[in-house]
Amino acid sequence: MDHLETARVRGDFPLLERTVGGARLAYLDSGATAQKPTCVIDAEQDFLTRTNAAVHRGAHTLAVEATDAFEAGRSAVAGFVGAAVEEIVWTKNATESLNVVAYGFANASAGFGGDEAARFRVGPGDSIVVTEMEHHANLVPWQQLALRTGAELRWLPLTDDGHLDLTDLTGIVDSTTRVLAFTHVSNVLGTINDAARLVARAREVGAYTVLDACQSAAHMPLDLHALDVDFAAFSGHKMLGPTGVGALYGKKELLDALPPVLTGGSMITTVTMEETGFLPAPQRFEAGTQPVAQIVGLAAAVGYLDEIGMDVVAAHETAIGAALLTGVQDVPGIRVLGPLDPTERIGAVAFDVEGVHAHDVGQFLDSRGVAARVGHHCAQPLHRRYGITASTRASAAIYTDSTDVEQFLAALAEVRPFFGATG
């Protein structure tokens, strides 16, 4: 986008008008949570003030309108990620989505779900494969599944320049592998992984694929059918939508066979005192009251992104990312994590400042009005691989402009001198 287009987009995000400590706010923490355009805020408020009611539970006017809005949100999100409507399950976030899959496998391995669920059973002699760059949300559930079932947990390692090391892909993902879980885009390194190659290898050995799409759904065109993954997870709050709502994608025949994890109301066919029958997907995974207002807000968010066009979003963020990457590399005493080619990553740059702890870096940046993420970013094994415990990350979104980049780089150049780490 040009300067005028970026300015127009920024005008849709009221929070960006505020100041921090008297300085203009440069919000560079969109990788953690994105800001919300007015249309999303208005959509939630309008639903709550005009339509609020329980969905799929009443025949009165408000209940019908609320149910229609609830399912219209499902249709909008499904279209946005290249899925069928019945393949989108509502959750509260991507972490829950990934746990639904992992614990579904655990339930199947314990004998639940009957013959249909037998395909998901995992046990001794089987392997589960993840990667060394995973967010904890796509690592810990698989660790737990391995512990519960006796399966072996393996991982694809990282190269020094922030890519997956696929040298031994066929040795790690082999005939014993039941699950290959991997992130589409690293939340720390920004690396865009070769999903097609990973899925192809999983298909060769009959393994199920589980994709963490949190950092791709918000920043680049996403077509889950084209990727041919079996399951995928993403969160609304990273893609300009509300908090408290996420989605699980699964191929319909797999979702219908996967044992549910949460049980109760709204996901049943019949209940007696002795047994219960479950609805097919997606309702079988949507026990209890759902985040309806947040789903309406998420539908508005994907509509907003669709109107701009995800090709435009990706191009804008690649340009911003290139400016961030070049600028950070030009500051003495800073080590960039991840690929140095901006076309191989999204618009997020994590780095280590020599002689200054990441939390001190973040506080200094904040004093200059710059909001950036610090810590291990829920990816401790990744940081350990690169010999550090924490890093600082600047991450862009569609509303990030060149002034944000300049303000951030000017503040970053002051960090080491301020802390006396100029040697």
| Three-state SS sequence of the chain | CCHHHHHHHHCCCHHHHCEECCEECEECECCCCCCCCHHHHHHHHHHHHHCCCCCCCCCCHHHHHHHHHHHHHHHHHHHHHCCCHHHEEEECCHHHHHHHHHHHHHHHHCCCCHHHHHHHCCCCCCEEEEECCCCHHHCHHHHHHHHHHCCEEEEECECCCCCECCCCHHHHCCCCEEEEEEECECCCCCEECCHHHHHHHHHHHCCEEEEECHHHHCCCCCCHHHHCCCEEEEEHHHHCCCCCCEEEEECHHHHHHCCCCCCCCCCEEEECCCCEEECCCCHHHCCCCCCHHHHHHHHHHHHHHHHHCHHHHHHHHHHHHHHHHHHHHCCCCEEEECCCCHHHECCEEEEEECCCCHHHHHHHHHHCCEECEEECCCCHHHHHHCCCCCEEEEECCCCCCHHHHHHHHHHHHHHHHHCCCCC
Q: Out of 64, 308, 378, 421, pick the active-site residue.
A: 378
Length of the chain: 423
Question: Do residues 162 and 186 make contact, with C-beta atoms less than 8 angstroms apart?
Answer: yes
Cβ(330)–Cβ(302) below 8 Å? no
CA distances from 413 to 152, 277, 326, 407 (A): 46, 62, 13, 10
Q: Which residues contact 128 (CB under 8 A, 6 or more apart)?
A: 122, 142, 145, 146, 151, 152, 153, 154, 177, 178, 179, 181
Nearest CA-CA partner of 239 in 345, 291, 310, 135? 310
Whether 39 is catalytic: no
Which pair of structure tokens corresponds to residue 166?
A: 């696929």
Please identify every residue annotated as catalytic: 378
